[in-house]
A and B are shown apart, each in its own frame.
Chain A
């Protein structure tokens, strides 16, 4: 492994690279891998391959005449040069902007984005001074995204971590398939928000549409306004003091704390009546025997 240089790896096929790096293609399900690492090692807070950026090194990028691919390539090139604060101008509703950033970064977007903006990110802090289209922050892993105006449907679809915040209202299916992280909506959210949610937290300061939390497996939804209807297996739960402290801190962080506080929020969790494990299997086996 250690004897193979990056140049040699580049000359290899993907399968050869995997073998040279000691990886195996055999099925590892249910097995343990023993990897030793120094739990007391020197503090390092970014991935080994991440660019070393300086938040005080700032630049602007005018995207008016650039394609989506060109914009994303230039963002990566700027991070490689050490820029930690980038102002992206004139996005003009382009789709797929700033996706797949796996780095520390302060990114300010002066305008609105189209579909799939800032998806698949892991680490950056993004502020969008406009609106966003469908699926903003989809599959986000970590970091913060703050949208100053409204957002389209499937806001934060399949989000796994980080804070995804919209100061305005959002469309339907907010946080569909949410697997972690926090989604905050300053205004209202549409129908089927939290659909198939698995974990994480969603805060809606305004009203929620029909079928809130439908088929949610786990996770928590907090709603400050009215709920048009609960989805299947979504049930209200007690708002604890720890919940209130967390809500107050989180909403204060984004300047969204209501004047009357958080005591009026409704907390929704999964009733877990839909949990469907393979509980018929033992019976079936007995029948066969």
Chain B
């Protein structure tokens, strides 16, 4: 993985946060009672060999040669469940149980990206109502 030089913790296993939802790996984390840092490697760059058809279509519609902002989107874990962080609501979106998790982070990241796009573009996304209520222009 790129850039994994975590002082407090290091992600060694793709299922680390599924097996241990608290993720208290180091002595320092145990002392303060919380996991330090992200529940994924923020510096992992995407492997374009693993792009899904949905994401390829998204890139084409937007006129981009790559995943653009989705390069920063990864599958993480919230309370032991796979989830993707949505910056537009500052919260986690849980991955449905019906989706089988692949055995590697790159494929999991592609699933997370696809799910996030579907949620953000949905009429059910909280931003739709927030925009109606608070839009200034």
Contacts and interface: CB of A to CB of B under 8 A. Distances in A.
A27 interface: no
Contacts of B43: 199, 201, 218-220, 269
Nearest to A9: B132
Contact of A279 (B32, B121, B124): B32
A45 B72 contact: no
Contacts of B96: 39
Contact of A237 (B5, B8, B34, B37): B5
Contacts of B131: 49
Interface of A: 1, 6, 9, 14, 17-18, 21-23, 33, 35-39, 41, 43-49, 55, 104, 106, 123, 125, 141-144, 160-163, 180-182, 199-201, 218-220, 235, 237, 240, 242-243, 246, 249-250, 253, 267, 269-273, 275, 277-279, 281-282
B123 interface: yes
A37 B120 CA distance: 10
B125 interface: yes
A168 B35 CA distance: 41
Interface in B39-69: 42-43, 45-48, 54, 57-58, 61-66, 68-69
Given A162-B68, A253-B65, A275-B8, A41 B33 contact: no
Contacts, number: 151
Contacts of A125: 63-64
Contacts of A163: 68
Query: Which 9 A-B pairs rank lowest in CB-CB distance, beginning with the nearest?
Result: A161-B69, A142-B69, A246-B45, A272-B7, A180-B72, A37-B124, A45-B61, A21-B129, A17-B133
B124 A36 contact: yes
A59 B1 CA distance: 45
Interface of B: 1-3, 5-8, 28, 31-34, 36-38, 42-43, 45-48, 54, 57-58, 61-66, 68-69, 71-72, 87, 91, 96, 99, 115, 117-134
B121 A46 contact: yes
A33 to B, nearest CB: 7
A20 to B, nearest CB: 8
